[in-house]
């Protein structure tokens, strides 16, 4: 597809990560051929039934230009979320960038918590217990596989 706007003016290296169950950070870089006065604005839609919303908390670079966004209370829906970053400049038309992302694929899981180890020297065995990390989407129990590495000293 041919997008209106100057080639090389759309953002580059767009990526998002979800952490601590419901927080999301998205970052990008200004287009390499974008004029110096270009400002970028992020809109997103969590599911097709939600309204598109503009970022509430931008991350800015040293020139005061938006190069990222912090989101709170993000819910992982079953559908792909839609992201759109458009730009404006006084002298040029700026190309937009858009992408659909499965949010569960960008979730960084918390580590297990309340880890306990009880060893019985007489029976020569140990019991490891932990609580599984909290995640924001369903099918929790199917998501986790654990691996224990034991190093004997």
pLDDT in the model for residue 76? 86
pLDDT in the model for residue 138? 56
pLDDT in tens, the chain (153 residues): 556 788 899 999 999 999 988 999 999 999 999 998 999 999 999 888 888 999 999 999 988 899 999 999 998 887 899 999 999 999 889 999 999 999 989 998 888 889 999 998 888 888 999 988 877 665 555 667 888 888 876
**E-strand spans in 64-150?**
66-71, 81-88, 97-101, 113-120, 125-131
Assigned fold of 12-105: Immunoglobulin-like (2.60.40)
Domain spans of the chain, in order of start: 12-105
Task: With residue 143 as reference, give the H or E element that holds it.
Answer: helix 140-143
Question: Residue ranges of the alpha helices (H) in 4-152?
Answer: 140-143
Nearest to 27 by CA among 17, 43, 40, 14: 14
Can you give the pTM of this predicted structure? 0.80
CA atoms of 94 and 75, how far apart (whole Å): 31
């Amino acid at each position: 597809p041919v997008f209106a706007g100057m080639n090389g003016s759309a953002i580059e290296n767009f990526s998002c990560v979800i952490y601590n169950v419901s927080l999301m950070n998205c970052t990008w870089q200004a287009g390499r051929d974008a004029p110096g006065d270009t400002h970028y604005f992020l809109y997103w839609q969590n599911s097709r039934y939600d309204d598109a919303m503009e970022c509430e908390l931008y991350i800015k670079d040293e020139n005061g230009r938006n190069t990222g966004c912090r989101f709170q209370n993000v819910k992982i829906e079953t559908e792909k979320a839609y992201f759109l970053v458009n730009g404006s400049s006084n002298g040029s038309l700026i190309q937009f960038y858009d992408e659909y992302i499965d949010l569960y694929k960008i979730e960084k899981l918390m580590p297990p918590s309340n880890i306990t180890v009880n060893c019985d020297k007489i029976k020569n065995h140990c019991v490891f217990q932990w609580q599984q990390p909290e995640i924001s989407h369903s099918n929790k129990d199917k998501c986790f596989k654990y691996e224990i590495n034991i190093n004997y000293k």
